[in-house]
Structure 1
Amino acid sequence: MAFGYLHLRLLVLAAAIAVAVAANFDDCINRIHQMPNTTVGGTDNRGNPMIITNATAITYDLCVQECGADPEPFAWPVFSQQFSAWLLPWLALISQLPFGANDKMDNLQSMLLSIGSPVLAAYALVLTTLNGRWITKRFFPFKNHPNAYRAVRVLSSLQQAPLRLTDDHSLLVALVTLRANRHWWGELLTWLNLTHSWSISAATSIAWVFIAYIFTVVDSFTGGVTQMVNANGQGVGSIWLWLLAIVVAWLQISPKCDSEHLHRAMNRANKFGGVPNGKRRMATDTEPAMYLSSDLSTLRCDESRSPPIFNYARLFSWVQSVEQVAEAFEPSNALLRGTPSPSEIESHRREDSDATEMNTFLGASLRHRSDSKSESSMAVDVTAHSIHLSSEMVGKRSRWGEGTWRRIVVSGCVALFLQWGTTGAAVVVVWYTPTTGLGCRSAAYLLYGIISTLVWMAMLISSILSHYSVTSKSKRAPSARIAAWFAIALRRLGKFTAACNGIGLVITCLFQFSNFFDRCYCNSSVLYWGSRAYNVISFQPEDVVFMRSAWIGGVFLAAGSTILFFIFINLFINPPFPTHEDDD
């Protein structure tokens, strides 16, 4: 409380000082127009010299000389109107991003990463969607297997969890093959589905933001584009539009990101089954075939954080887990393709079946295929056979996973399209507002997009180096240790940079509404024009037409990129998968 009160007093004091030293551009312009007829300092709206009394713009040097380098005074009516219309709805919508971690710091990191790097937020969203489609195709050859449909839904739902599989492949084969263990899949799937995507508060927030954006855009055109042009929120509205698409898309996907709920669901399922005899687990049983890791090591800590934006860190480990489960389906699916007669199957389906019965049952399937003597000879021990097949598959399995790089490239391109569609629209709106060119506002938006992209690249490289280090044959090898060090350093740098970028974006918006940018330096676009910089003080009809066209183009660019991103997600979301006749 004391710190907050002191902070508030400092803000009030800073505002009072700013008002005291602020420039009054109206008085300044009147003084300039009363100067003797000369072309020194006077220009038209293209920067061409002209008599000062007829000038519609002045040079940057004259502006500083006569008006000073300070900004226009803070105007509360302008600030409150623009802030509540253009920025406040977006800040409220941030609360609808998916979080779910038990640790509040993890949720805070997720929020700062999303605001500081929309590229990373969109990348995680697209990657989650494409992973769901990939796993459906990966398990499609096993569509007739009783557990295939449940496995697809379970594994897809566990993208937000640090999924791990046991090294004992016989447990995984039993989990896939035994009829009794079908209850394990059903139990886990039931508990994972106890989440809700849409809520009244979420729908209300989205509707509020959408309606507020439409109203403010329409009002900015009908009220006259030259009114409060330097404090207008057109650029602000465009640069935040990515948030609407991401929130709505996550609500459609409904990620299972409640960490406490995920662990409780997995523990409950593992108590029910998932062991060779398919019965309830006892304290003396071996480790479960599938579980959620509690690894909090510095290298892999982001994998344990359940907010979906951290899916970037779980990609490679999750893909490896999916591949391992698919490999468990391979031998059992191959055996079940030669299914014996119904009476023979029924004779081998017992509630008290164990690993021996599994071998007998699958061995019967092999013997039924009399055209393959080699397969019949393997029926002596099906579990050993499945482990042998798995060893061969692991030897051939890619460290990075099937099609992983393709999904990374596609996700990155789509995420960059959304980021630069909205950021580019904000830059266009401000760039073509006289004085045209790169100024303080457009440079701030451009820097935001660049830093957002760099943060995504840092986090992506960090996840690659981390997986390389973890999967290295020798964890103490120099290459593995160097990769681990760089992975940690890049991740920490990326998070810090994203936090600064997100806070900087909010401050930039506040500066625009508070007239902080309404000063000679920013209004003259010195960054673009250099020594030829000039400040437009009177808009001409052609300027208004040009500026209106740029604003309309910016709105369509931001809205179009957001709509196309949303269409892309809906094209790939929820791919169909044939269900077994016994599935729910």
Structure 2
Amino acid sequence: MKFSFRLLSSLLLFLTLYQVEFVSGTKNLAQCLTEVRNGTYGPDAGVDNSGRPVSNIQDATAIRYEVCVTACGSGAQSFSWSDFSTEFSSWVLPWLALLSQLPFGANDNLKNFFSVVLTIGSPTLAAYSAALTVLNGRWIAHRFSGSSYPNTKQAIRSLSSLQQASIELDTSKSLLASLVVLHQNDEWWRELLANLNYTHTWSISAVTSIAWVLIAYIFTVIESLSTVREEVEGMFLNSVVFTINTQCIAERINGQAVGSVWLWLLPVVIAWLQISPKCDNVRVKDALNRANKVAHVAQPDGVSQLASLFSDYRGISLKEDDDALHNDERCTSPIYNYSRLFSWTVAVEEISGYFREATRRSRLLKPVAANTQWVTESRYTVIHEQNRCGTSSEVIDYCTSVNGRLTQWGSGVWGRIIIASLMALLLQWGTAGAAIFIIWQTPTRGLGCRSGSYIIYAVLSTIVWTLLLFSSILAHYSTLDFRSRDPQETDRHHPRAKFAAMLSIFLRRLGKVLATANTAWILTACIFQFSAFFDRCYCDSSALGLGLAKAYNVIQFTPDDLSTMKTVWIGGIFMAIGSAILYVGFINLFLDPPLRNNPDRE
């Protein structure tokens, strides 16, 4: 990831230098207000902080937009490197550094870098994938709750760890059934779990990064609130000092909004550190390869053999196809868990069905081999090895239910999608909404450049998540094994499936393009925020919402403004932090579900 963050830093430096080069300075706003109060631009040039005309021009604390352009100029305020570096390093750099604690896994710098871009471009998607992962872990524990066949516990833990991998099953020639039934494959499950039992969790580096971000955020919030309190206490000082400090307050409010809009990253990083996803592409592939070397398969004569003696096919393996439809599924970065939901759920349902049926027959004391007697368990083994031997057809029959698969979409997927979506939207709009609320309620109140940029960021983040979610649904639909008694209906399905696959690829690529643009947008907006680019008449007058005819520029805050701003500020902070706490609380509530019936019988 060093290459990725070096590239990101270079991009930020380029954008910064671009602003330094092209931003145009204008007259100081305090000087403009003084000229308006002196009557230079007429008796109607000044207004109060609600945009209403004042009876005495000397009482004006704001000026109309057209007067602002005439008196101050249409460009931005002069750029100050010291102000920019201080604000940017306080409010943005800690969050960018925290990105290094996200789990990646792809052995390709470009793919890892794009995972960062996709995460920044759509926090909704990042939060959705994390929430979906913990819900999947709870679902799989519930799905296997009716099974007590040997290796059930290993199956739960292994399959939960394989959420970051695109797995496929081979039910032909008793390959998958043998993994469940044959006692020789106990070693296969132990080998797989042992090689997947590595963690990407809390470390000194992770704790330090999180502590740095959290402390920096708390300190800047406290400093900002202290600045407002000091201004309230000293509001009766001379107007020049007051005007200068008003600019300082505005900078603190703008910085607080930037901190809120990035706050989603903290709970997402904490969530992934607690989940500890097994996402290293090499290690996941190596774990399956090592396990598959000891996989046994039942033979027609009843004598099991190593599967490697007959072919390279295995009961559980990674998808090796290189089609564009499953590009996201093959990438082991956890943010792509959204794309593996349906295929992973269907695979788990198939395996859990085998375990449940094998459990049902073992409880009836039926051995795998027909016309044999059940061998009584010893004190060391609940199910004797002789009860788990048979021909390939007997092994298949032993764990194949007469009911078959209930659905090709997987059970409970829509409920998990809804819950994960609600939590992701809560985090995205709780943090971005707080930033929008703080800026919106800061005079001049209304929709301006700053609040508009945050709205665009949150909306695009939600659109990207929506596009990629629908893309995953269409991708799975295009691969369904459609069967109908009506041959004409079957013929009509194939064009629909092909169209769904093409639409899925288009939506996914469109979503990624928008995510890339949104990443560039929020980084640019942060640079604009602290480089004085937004400090211009158009942005400060909330002309986007009020319209040019009604827009006005508040230059001097009143005591009522300061009191209201403090309340809004505190409300915004609680809104952002509250949504982050709720998200982390949700993750912890569903994390590490108990395994029912103590399935570790072996």
Question: Aligned-pair distance for 1:500?
Answer: 0.8
Give the corresponding residue for 1:53.
58
Q: Are the equivalent residues in 2 in contact too, given 1:37–1:53 (CA < 8 A)?
A: no
Question: Aligned-pair distance for 1:7?
Answer: 10
Give the corresponding residue for 2:389.
358
Name the TM-score, length of structure 1 as normaliser.
0.89
Structure 1 residues 239 and 384 mapped into 2: Cα distance closer, same or farther (>3 Å)?
A: closer
Question: Aligned-pair distance for 1:25?
Answer: 2.2
Q: Are the equivalent residues in 1 in contact too, given 2:171–2:177 (CA < 8 A)?
A: no
Structure 1 residues 326 and 36 mapped into 2: Cα distance closer, same or farther (>3 Å)?
A: closer
Which of 551, 556, 575 is the aligned partner of 2:593? 575
Question: Aligned-pair distance for 1:109?
Answer: 2.0
User: Aligned pairs, how many?
Assistant: 554
Question: Aligned-pair distance for 1:278?
Answer: 6.1
Which of 161, 164, 188 is the aligned partner of 1:160? 164
> Superposition pairs for residues 128-207 of structure 1, below 5 Å?
128-142=133-147, 144-168=148-172, 170-207=174-211
Letter in 1 for 2:394: V
Which of 226, 247, 268 is the aligned partner of 2:269? 247
Q: Are the equivalent residues in 2 in contact too, given 1:109–1:495 (CA < 8 A)?
A: no
- Match status 1:269 vs 2:281: no
> Superposition pairs for residues 48-87 of structure 1, below 5 Å?
48-50=52-54, 51-87=56-92
SS in 1 for 2:539: helix
Q: Are the equivalent residues in 2 in contact too, given 1:173–1:329 (CA < 8 A)?
A: no
Q: Are the equivalent residues in 2 in contact too, given 1:181–1:278 (CA < 8 A)?
A: no
Letter in 2 for 1:101: A
Give the corresponding residue for 2:314.
288
Question: Aligned-pair distance for 1:550?
Answer: 0.6
Deviates more, 1:95-104 or 1:253-262: 95-104
Q: Are the equivalent residues in 1 in contact too, given 2:357–2:399 (CA < 8 A)?
A: no
Deviates more, 1:457-466 or 1:381-390: 381-390
Which of 319, 324, 343 is the aligned partner of 2:350? 324
Question: Aligned equivalents of 2:41 and 2:70: distance in 1?
Answer: 17
> What do residues 319-350 of structure 1 show as CA deviations (whole Å, max 9, x unaligned)?
0100110121132111110237985457xx9x
Question: Aligned equivalents of 1:581 and 1:5: distance in 2?
Answer: 52
Q: Are the equivalent residues in 2 in contact too, given 1:127–1:411 (CA < 8 A)?
A: yes
Question: Aligned-pair distance for 1:502?
Answer: 1.3
Deviates more, 1:162-171 or 1:528-537: 162-171
Letter in 2 for 1:99: F
Which of 425, 428, 436 is the aligned partner of 1:416? 425
- Match status 1:114 vs 2:125: no
Question: Aligned equivalents of 2:34 and 2:390: distance in 1?
Answer: 96
Question: Aligned-pair distance for 1:37?
Answer: 8.8
Letter in 2 for 1:318: W
Q: Are the equivalent residues in 2 in contact too, given 1:230–1:518 (CA < 8 A)?
A: no
Letter in 2 for 1:410: I
Gaps of 5+ in 2: 1-5, 232-245, 367-372, 483-489
Question: Aligned equivalents of 1:240 and 1:11: distance in 2?
Answer: 19
Give the corresponding residue for 2:519.
502
SS in 2 for 1:223: helix
Q: Are the equivalent residues in 2 in contact too, given 1:180–1:279 (CA < 8 A)?
A: no
Which of 389, 392, 397 is the aligned partner of 1:385? 397
Question: Aligned-pair distance for 1:198?
Answer: 1.5
Letter in 2 for 1:187: E
Identical aligned residues as a percent: 46
Question: Aligned equivalents of 2:418 and 2:14: distance in 1?
Answer: 49
Question: Aligned-pair distance for 1:400?
Answer: 1.0
Give the corresponding residue for 2:235.
none
Structure 1 residues 262 and 5 mapped into 2: Cα distance closer, same or farther (>3 Å)?
A: closer
Question: Aligned equivalents of 2:127 and 2:67: distance in 1?
Answer: 46
Question: Aligned-pair distance for 1:17?
Answer: 4.4
Question: Aligned equivalents of 2:511 and 2:172: distance in 1?
Answer: 37
Give the corresponding residue for 1:466.
475
Give the corresponding residue for 1:35.
39
Give the corresponding residue for 2:558.
540
- C-alpha root-mean-square deviation of aligned residues, in Å? 2.8
Question: Aligned equivalents of 1:327 and 1:150: distance in 2?
Answer: 15
Give the corresponding residue for 1:445.
454
Q: Are the equivalent residues in 2 in contact too, given 1:126–1:411 (CA < 8 A)?
A: yes
Which of 522, 527, 538 is the aligned partner of 2:544? 527
Question: Aligned equivalents of 2:307 and 2:460: distance in 1?
Answer: 50
Question: Aligned-pair distance for 1:84?
Answer: 1.1
Question: Aligned equivalents of 1:406 and 1:571: distance in 2?
Answer: 17
Name the TM-score, length of structure 2 as normaliser.
0.87
SS in 2 for 1:389: coil
Structure 1 residues 286 and 86 mapped into 2: Cα distance closer, same or farther (>3 Å)?
A: closer
Deviates more, 1:212-221 or 1:273-282: 273-282
> What do residues 417-440 of structure 1 show as CA deviations (whole Å, max 9, x unaligned)?
110000100001101111111111
Give the corresponding residue for 1:492.
509
- Match status 1:235 vs 2:246: no
Question: Aligned equivalents of 2:394 and 2:297: distance in 1?
Answer: 16
Letter in 2 for 1:98: P
Question: Aligned equivalents of 1:520 and 1:61: distance in 2?
Answer: 9
Give the corresponding residue for 2:443.
434
Letter in 2 for 1:239: V
Question: Aligned-pair distance for 1:14?
Answer: 5.3
Structure 1 residues 384 and 436 mapped into 2: Cα distance closer, same or farther (>3 Å)?
A: closer
Letter in 2 for 1:567: G
Structure 1 residues 281 and 359 mapped into 2: Cα distance closer, same or farther (>3 Å)?
A: closer
Structure 1 residues 507 and 532 mapped into 2: Cα distance closer, same or farther (>3 Å)?
A: same
SS in 2 for 1:535: strand
Letter in 2 for 1:89: P
Which of 88, 92, 97 is the aligned partner of 2:97? 92
Q: Are the equivalent residues in 2 in contact too, given 1:418–1:565 (CA < 8 A)?
A: yes
Question: Aligned-pair distance for 1:202?
Answer: 0.8
Letter in 2 for 1:201: S
Letter in 1 for 2:425: L
Give the corresponding residue for 1:336.
362
Deviates more, 1:512-521 or 1:222-231: 222-231
Which of 296, 313, 332 is the aligned partner of 1:306? 332
Question: Aligned equivalents of 2:511 and 2:564: distance in 1?
Answer: 39
Deviates more, 1:7-16 or 1:500-509: 7-16
Q: Are the equivalent residues in 2 in contact too, given 1:23–1:70 (CA < 8 A)?
A: no
